Chain A
């Protein structure tokens, strides 16, 4: 359908996107790594339970860890070989995770689920669960839970905003796999029982908008370039005008949001029976030799991903897993990719912000840009004083989506997100 323009949302910032670094390089497949270490904590909720023994032979796509609990997802082997070890060690964020280490036999034999032809809604739902699909936008919420909402929904929104600077993995995927994404969206819509499909794409990707316009069953909405446009609540507001209440799920407003990469994964899971064991990762930044968008197997060492992209051009100041606004700063390359790793960024000293914080000026810019209309300066103020209840009361911390817009704009470079996370953690502890 002909593209229409989306609304604006309150606040937001306009960081330099630097997408040109990698947006022109087509998707490439990374050669098989010699060894992968797959974490069992691949989604929100509890980690999955390992079900393979050390020494067992597994094929790519074979179930190696079973979901435990409702908000958890299955984990699959990402290449064929023998299980070397099941060990516990600190993950990228410093928290202990269980890793299943598989040594490749170089053959890359596949063990897919049986493909489905013209499946029913129930079959699709079951397949999404069996393929271990999670939201590939970053949060890693299991898709199986999302496609089984408790309230009736009437709209499916595909998130093609990719508002994070640097990242181009969704951009390339939308360009090269348009058909699959639309078919995947169709399967999700069928599982949900909705007719109305909307895709929101930021205006800085006109090529993607053009690609999606010929499809009749999908409404294209051009989004203004504004961060965090891809935030779930913001995206729903700009595309449909609906507001999601505090503490409510999008489904309560009759909407389900899925990332375009998730739709692609659903398409492959249904048509090929392929479980989720690889994804597109953007490797970018001024400090990497050749920025690329590559297919990476789950559990590949970050070191080998960087090596595949030509290694370091200069010494990076910061290495970030994910996007620069919400991603995780890495301390070493000895960590492994996850289902939610959308990017690996090697940032030069010019790009990475590492300034000393200066006193808060009370300028209110953080509140002006907050897309949730919160008051981050109050959270920071009360959290520094140790009064976390007041921080939540006067700062509205619990509604925070941690998009990072406030800290981005802060002229005093105050660590606002840190204060917000601290407040949230302290309040969780109290409960």
Chain B
């Protein structure tokens, strides 16, 4: 034994899982959706994805560089700070950039994406303290910011047309505003919705099959719990079906609308990749149940009344309630005795 032995509190063995590994898994899970986006929307989608990821990573680096004194003493420490940044780089900004790109329509201009990426990382994440400290999901906050600044509501249909013959080709509006909420036009076939062929929408949100592949990967790698998106989508679909009855001439509870509802717009993407974000969701299981349930109902309600896709807004709203949820949902320890019983016992 020489003096290089390490002394610490137990445990002396730890799992191999790291933050970087988990974020890498999320990035891998996002890849099918990203590739599907490129196939459906062409090179514009690829440009948006690259710009978004680069903007996020570069912003994080710049912030770290400035905050850790990279410019101090005439840039004497610049090399050291760069090395330190690389050492602590945990891929969170890559995930944020990828998610942001996938929830944008392919008509977004590259400079809009650049501004959105900078906003997501600099203002939403780093200003609040960096990884793990942000109050709201950076990607959804940036999406809302871009929606308010550049509108970005023109969706184009995927390049590959519907494979089921009865489907109609939509341009300029998502399936969502087309028929589900106003009951005016004919429905798309569920298989088209699942694959995303002929569907107008955001880059990563159109191909639900790719999202489901990502979901399965995340569950297998134990990054998310399987019931989280299932609960969210189930409750959301049910509430949406319940509400959409009111849009018809006479109230009708039509469960056949369930699948079109959960496969339209960005709900499924939000449920798998955005609601499940570790940093901005509650800590304990009961809190998470509450969070997903309220989020699902709120999303269904807002979507019904606003007639547009509001997943990002709902994520923002729910994120802000998380500290409050965490305060009220505290688990009772194993073997906890209720106060009443404890008094009786004495």
Contact = CB atoms under 8 A, between A and B. Distances in A.
A325 B11 CA distance: 4
A359 B133 contact: yes
A331 B18 contact: no
Interface string A360-403: 11111001100111110110000000000000001010010010
Nearest to A403: B11
A244 interface: yes
Contact of A364 (B15, B283, B327, B330): B283
B11 A246 contact: no
Given A16-B13, A358-B88, A399 B333 contact: yes
A371 B334 contact: yes
A245 B14 contact: no
A179 B162 CA distance: 75
B287 to A, nearest CB: 9
Contact of B1 (A319, A327, A421): A319
Interface in B258-304: 278-281, 283-285, 288
Interface in B70-98: 88, 90
Contacts of A407: 10-11, 14
Interface in B1-44: 1-2, 4-15, 17-19, 21-22
B331 interface: yes
A411 interface: yes
Interface stretch (A51-59, A218-226, A347-355): A347-355
Chain A, interface SS category = loop
A413 interface: yes
Contact of A326 (B4, B11, B19, B330): B11
B337 A245 contact: yes
B278 A318 contact: no
Contact of A316 (B1, B14, B15): B1
Contacts of A367: 283-285, 331
B11 A361 contact: no
Contacts of A13: 15
Interface residues of B, number: 42
A411 B334 contact: no
Given A325-B13, A359-B130, A404-B11, A10 B334 contact: yes
A347 B8 CA distance: 13
Interface in B288-322: 288
B330 A375 contact: yes
Contacts of A375: 283-284, 330-331
A17 B332 CA distance: 30
Contacts of A378: 283, 330
A282 to B, nearest CB: 14
Interface string A1-28: 0000000001001011000000000000
A417 B11 contact: yes
Nearest to B2: A315
18 contacts: A245-B335, A248-B335, A317-B5, A318-B5, A325-B12, A327-B12, A333-B1, A353-B12, A353-B13, A354-B6, A361-B22, A364-B284, A367-B284, A374-B333, A408-B13, A408-B15, A410-B15, A421-B9
What 3 pairs between A and B have smallest CB-CB spacing?
A: A353-B14, A404-B11, A359-B132
